[in-house]
Amino acid sequence: YYGGDCASLNIAALWKKYKGTEEPPAAFGHNRDWNVDLIPKFIMSNGKLVKMLIKSKVTKYLEWKVVDGTYVFQVSKGLMGGKKAGIHKVPSNDSEALKSSLMGLWEKKRCRNFFKYVESFNEEDPKTFGGIDPTSDPFAALIKKFGLEANTIDFVGHAIALYPSDAFISQPCLGTIKKIKLYMDSHGLYGDSPFIYPVYGLGGLPEGFSRLSAVYGGTYMLNQDIDEIVLDESGQVSGVRAGDQVAKCKMVIADPSYVKSMDKVKKTGQIVRCICIMDHPVPNTKGCQSVQVIIPQKQVGRNSDIYITMLSNVHCVCAQNFYIAMISANVETSSPETEIQPALDILGPVIESFVEIYDTYEPTCDGVNDKVFVTSSYDSTSHFESASEEVLSLYKRIFGEDLDLNVEYEEEEG
């Protein structure tokens, strides 16, 4: 199959990858009903990836549907001094904050006031800063200003601003304010959720670009393994070799799997991913047919978050009456499968599960000199925000300028 670590597989290919020669149960239906993404990531409706896709005009080849909801796991105080744990829908504005089950009565009001502050914040108008210097004061200053509780900080930072750790608390608050505003702006843009996902899965993205490439005379070399990236006498890339054939080129853009032998990447850690096939949606989500659940690090005593994405036949990724959930997390101990148990507890019973440990890499050079541009491995997050930033950085290294994303949607789509 094509796509490497981030391929989209039918049910037969999925079984072959994880179970060898064993055939999938007949109850799972036809291959054509399954498009299982090995690394599913949701897309922010008003985020940079959407703008890049519109800029490239590849959106004409794609169909999207809204993700039903985003939830966050929280451990809170129960009756008689005990604790209760569960998932709650993430509020995205001041009115939703007042209805949220994440907070008590007085905290709801404090959170509403914080959301109103963010909604009215204008980077160009110091009158909206409320006595805060967003370029130097840390987010901790806003926490103090609005008296936000620890659990509120958790869901705001991890499920709205989408930070994978608590480092944002000590960083200048402007970046966090922008991320929260992006979440707010994305919510309601296409439906009652800030995230969208391609119908038939993420495999539609490379398929769309292949069609666009054909329009401009591009060539796809199929059914070929790359044996070598060829450099000329000056040390710059001149082609890629497959067997005894060499395709000439002026630059190569590749993920780490193609360049491990060239000493161009270094290992940064590991990620545990678990694909779960279920016959029910995620419990306590009011039957959502697609959902994201974020488990902030503090809630389960970790150094980084755990992520869950779940999709159904609504997005045409599995047969009817089945659901595909993916759990992902950074490996922090010698027992990766034990680390994701909190996520498995949220999902409830699963029919089949497939666990894989991925090594992660990052490039050791920027690629400007030899024209071999290498991306980092996909991280454990359930969204494309960090990957989008890397694409923009890659574009600047290649072309020497920032990609202009200030385009009118109607202009590009027309």
Query: Strand, coil or helix: what is 255?
Result: coil
**Count of CB atoms situated within 10 Å of the CB of 304:** 20
Residues 5-33 have a mean pLDDT of 92
Asked if residues 143 and 169 have their Cβ atoms less than 8 Å apart, the reply is yes
**What pLDDT is recorded for position 219?**
83
Average pLDDT over residues 61-79: 88
pLDDT over 70, % of the chain: 97
Q: What Cα–Cα distance (Å) separates residue 263 from each residue in 35, 259, 363?
A: 34, 7, 9
Question: What distance in Å separates the CA atoms of residue 411 and residue 414, rounded to the nearest whole number?
Answer: 5
User: Is the pLDDT reported for residue 412 higher than 60?
Assistant: no
Task: Work out the number of other CB atoms within 10 angstroms of the CB of residue 324.
Answer: 24
Of the pLDDT bands very low, low, confident and very high (cuts 50, 70, 90), residue 414 is very low
SS3 string of 34-73? CCEECCCCEEECCCHHHHHHHHHCHHHHCCEEECCEEEEE
Which pLDDT score, from 0 to 100, does residue 95 have?
A: 83
Strand pairing category for 228-231 and 237-242:
antiparallel
CB atoms < 10 A from the CB of 62, how many? Answer: 16
- Sheet arrangement for strand 43-44: 43-44, 195-198, 64-66
**pLDDT per position as a tens digit, 365-385:** 999 999 999 999 999 999 998
| pLDDT given at position 258 | 85
pLDDT score, position 162: 94
Tell whether the model's pLDDT for residue 215 goes beyond 50. Answer: yes
Rg of the Cα trace of the chain?
22
Average pLDDT taken over every residue of the chain: 92
Say how far apart CA 16 and CA 184 lie, in whole Å: 42
Q: What are 346-371's pLDDT values in tens digits?
A: 999 999 999 999 999 999 999 999 99
Here the tokens at position 216 are 């401009």
Picking from 91, 94, 93, the residue whose alpha carbon sits closest to that of residue 102 is 91
CA distances from 38 to 203, 221, 324, 337 (A): 10, 23, 11, 17
Predicted pLDDT of residue 411 = 44
Q: Report which residue type is found at 191.
A: G
pLDDT of 21 = 83
Residue 161: is its pLDDT beyond 60? yes
Residue entry with tokens 């054509």: 32
Pairing of strands 83-89, 69-77: antiparallel
Contact call for residues 307 and 291 (beta carbons, < 8 A) = no
